[in-house]
Amino acid sequence: MRNSTYIKSLHRVTKYLNRRDLSRIFGEIKESISGTTQDFTTGSVGKAILLLSIPMVLEMLMESIFAIVDIFFVSKLGADAVATVGLTESLITIVYAVGIGLSTATTALVARRIGEKQEEGASKVAAQAIIAALTISLLIGIPGAIFAPELLHLMGADANTIAQHSGYTRWMLGGNVVIMLLFTINAAFRSAGDAAISMRVLLLANLINIVLDPILIFGLGPIPALGIEGAAIATNIGRGFAVLYQLKLLFGGRTRIKVYLKEFIPDFKLIGHLLKLSVGGIGQMIIATSSWIGLVRIISIYGNEALAGYTIAIRIIIFALLPSVGISNAAATLVGQNLGAGSPERAERSAYATGVVNMVVLGLIGLVFVLFPKSFVMLFTTDPLVVKYASECLQIVSFGFLSYGLGMVMVNAINGAGDTSTPTYINLFCYWLLEIPLAYFLAVVLGLHEQGVFYSILIAETVMTITAFIIFRRGKWKLVKV
């Protein structure tokens, strides 16, 4: 029965694409970017996926641009400055983990309330999520700003780097509130169905950052050159204006979700519920991130060239996965809203259909990487040995892209239903209990060297997809109350 549901979802997506002429499809793409009033609990599932996924994909690309722009300009300041950015990003990982965890919880609760047509309930969730984000960011930001030099020292920075560049770390940790609020409020907009707003918010932040970065780093006219600190200030200003724009829309914009001052009276029960759900999202992020560290330790046995190749390949892969992250976010919104509307079967159909779309998108990307891995690797390096290792990694891991496309959607669909603990257990099993030991076994014990690590990623991610798919099919997520 459930297999037939999956087949029907595949047929529905194909039928949707076949019966639409190009002008109609382009019209819906325009609607998705400009904003839509579509009710995602009724009507065509295919159209709902299109309207949600396009702005969510663009939102992910906007987020990645921040890092690219900063490192582009900072690289002109020398190796020490670049190293400081890298070390600070490692420290900021905890901020991203908490922000993603809180946004996962916000998505589940807001989507459910919107599906139930409880707009006031959704608004209250958004307000309480903002309170939680502000509180957590202060707990991180105050000690982070005060002890920035000590934290850099703990990360292995030398005395000169700390003396010259710790201001960057101080600004980034102290200003983490804008990261936390961006993640949380965008999650509220996205899960309410206003994905285009989340995209525009990050577009605004990026435009400001792109303009201010060179001005504040290198100086312009009466504006002094602030060096690496200028990059942090520019990023915080860009994100800060984006947060102000978010708040303007939340309090008085033409959006699906609006908040009022009375909703900011702390509701500790609701905040506790949000934090409880957030733990699962935080755990998923930390488990996945730390597994990469474990693999780095194993692959470092085979020399700097192998490690450099692995690093380059993983950066390419992570960038390639961004569209799929956006598409899988659409699944979370659709599942949450349809469960709230009392339509669990439509929620299931939506997840399967989104999974098909994601498999097609990621499968095509994977096919290109399998056929032409060196073409992408050589954009980053021309060292023959590094190219060899990076191409091997990119090619081997990409064989599983078709599978990953479905797995990402299944995991996010379960998260969107409000069950954030099950995906955490899936990650724990696949990444810590399977991937890392398997990498060591294949690479060291069986003597496959660096290829053993690459194959362990392929196997672990495929097992993750199979596990998530089986758990999703069982349907217990339909019974989760949030």
Instruction: Report the candidate in 336, 189, 181, 168 with the shortest Cα–Cα distance to residue 254.
Output: 189
- Residues 6 or more apart in contact with residue 14 via CB below 8 angstroms: none
pLDDT of residue 290: 85
Residue 1 lies in a domain: no
Residue 109 lies in a domain: yes
pTM: 0.89
Q: Which two tokens stand for residue 149?
A: 């030099």
What kind and span of H or E run contains 431?
A: none
Is residue 121 in some structural domain? yes
The full DSSP string for 115-150 is HTT-HHHHHHHHHHHHHHHHHHHHHHHHHHHHTHHH
User: In angstroms, what CA-CA distances link 463 with 6, 406, 429, 430, 434?
Assistant: 19, 12, 10, 7, 9
| CA–CA gap between residue 340 and residue 337 (Å, rounded) | 5
Residue 76 above 90 pLDDT?
Answer: no
Angle at Cα 15 formed by Cα 13 and Cα 21, nearest 5°?
Answer: 105
DSSP 282-314: HHHHHHHHHHHHHHHHHHGGG-HHHHHHHHHHH
The domain in which residue 427 lies consists of 6-479
For the residues 432-447, what does the mean pLDDT come to?
96
Determine the pLDDT at residue 42: 93
Q: Is residue 460 scored above 60 in pLDDT?
A: yes
What string of DSSP letters covers 209-262? Answer: HHHHHHHHHH-BTTBPP-THHHHHHHHHHHHHHHHHHHHHHHHHSSSS----GG
Distances in Å between the Cα of 117 and the Cα atoms of 126, 191, 338, 341, 350 are: 15, 13, 11, 8, 19
Per-residue pLDDT averaged across 229-251, rounded?
A: 96
Confidence class of residue 83 from pLDDT cuts 50, 70 and 90? confident
Residue 147 main-chain phi, psi, to 5 deg: -105, 25
Answer yes or no: is pLDDT of 7 > 90.
no
pLDDT tens, position by position, 115-170: 999 999 999 999 999 999 999 999 999 999 999 999 998 888 888 889 999 999 99
Domain count, the chain: 1
Residues 6+ apart with CB under 8 A from 25: 50
pLDDT at 80 over 70: yes
The DSSP element (H or E) to which 180 belongs, if any, is helix 176-192
